[in-house]
Amino acid sequence: MLTGKRILLIIGGGIAAYKALELIRLLRRDGAAVTPVLTKAGAEFVTPLSVAALAGAKVHTDLFDLTGEAEMGHIQLSRVADLLVVAPATADLMAKMAQGRADDLASTLLLATDTPVMVAPAMNVRMWDHPATRRNIAVLQGDGVRFVGPDAGEMACGEYGPGRLAEPDAILAAIRAALAGGPLAGKHILVTSGPTHEPIDPVRYIANRSSGAQGTAIAAALRDLGARVTFVTGPAAVPPPQGVQVVRVETAREMMEAVDAALPADAAVMAAAVADWRVANESSSKIKKVAGAALPSLTFAENPDILKTVARSPDRRPRLVVGFAAETDDVLTHAQAKLLRKGCDWIVANDVSPATGIMGGAENAVTLITAAGAEDWPRLPKDEVARRLAQRIAEALA
Ligand code: C5P
Measured CA to CA, the distance from residue 326 to residue 66 in angstroms comes to: 63
Residue where a domain stops, chosen among 179, 200, 233: 179
Side chain identity at residue 296, one-letter code: P
Q: Which residue has the higher pLDDT, 264 or 332?
A: 264
Domain boundary residue among 155, 179, 203?
A: 179
What's the 193 CA to ligand 1 centre distance in angstroms? 11
140 and 115 in a common domain:
yes
Q: Do 333 and 300 sit in the same domain of this protein?
A: yes
Mutating to test ligand 1, I would choose from 312, 324, 351, 368 the residue with most ligand atoms within 8 A of its C-beta, which is 324
- Supply the DSSP string of 28-78, one letter for each residue: HHTT-EEEEEE-TTGGGTS-HHHHHHHHTSPPB--TT-HHHHHHS-HHHHH
Cβ atoms within 10 Å of 97's Cβ, excluding its own: 23
Grade residue 260 by pLDDT with cuts at 50, 70 and 90.
very high
What pLDDT, on a 0 to 100 scale, did the predictor assign at position 144?
83
- 197 with 110, same domain: the answer is no
Give tens-digit pLDDT for 191-238: 999 999 999 999 999 999 899 999 999 999 999 898 999 999 999 999
Half-sphere exposure of 329 (CA within 13 A, CB side): 0
User: Which helix (H) or strand (E) is 190 found in, with range?
Assistant: strand 188-193
Q: How far apart (Å, rounded) are the C-alpha atoms in residues 303 and 315?
A: 22
> pLDDT for 293-333, tens place per residue?
899 999 999 999 999 999 999 999 999 999 999 888 888 88
Consecutive H or E run containing 324 = strand 320-327
Domain identity same for 211 and 247: yes
395 shares a domain with 282: yes
Same domain membership, residue 172 and residue 193: no
Whole-number Å distance between alpha carbons of 12 and 152: 19
The reply to whether 172 and 192 lie within a common domain is no
- pLDDT tens digits for 277-300? 999 999 999 999 889 989 999 999
Are residues 14 and 154 located together in one domain of the fold? yes
Active site includes 344?
no
| CB atoms inside a 10 Å sphere around CB 35 | 21
Boundary residue ending a domain (129, 150, 179): 179
Average pLDDT for 104-123: 92
Is the predicted pLDDT of residue 72 greater than 70, yes or no? Answer: no
Compute the distance between CA of residue 210 and CA of residue 382 in angstroms, rounded to an integer: 13
For residues 62-72, give the mean pLDDT.
61
Same-domain check for residues 122 and 241: no
Q: Which domain holds residue 25?
A: 1-179
162: preceding bond cis by omega (within 30 degrees) = no
Quote the ligand 1 centre to 321 CA distance (angstroms): 12
pLDDT tens digits along 23-33: 999 999 999 99
Q: Tell me, what amino acid is at 49?
A: L
Q: How many domains does the chain have?
A: 2
- What does pLDDT average to over the chain? 92
Same domain for 347 and 198: yes
**Closest protein CA for atom 13 of ligand 1:** 307
CATH code (residue 356): 3.40.50.10300
3-state secondary structure of 9: strand
CA distance 364 to 379: 6
Interval 163-188 mean pLDDT: 91
395 in the same domain as 255: yes
**Cβ-contact 146, 118 below 8 angstroms:** yes
**Same domain, residue pair 102 and 77:** yes
Which residue's CA is the closest to the ligand 1 atom numbered 4? 325
Return the ∠ at Cα 128 (arms to 213 and 103), rounded to 5°. 125
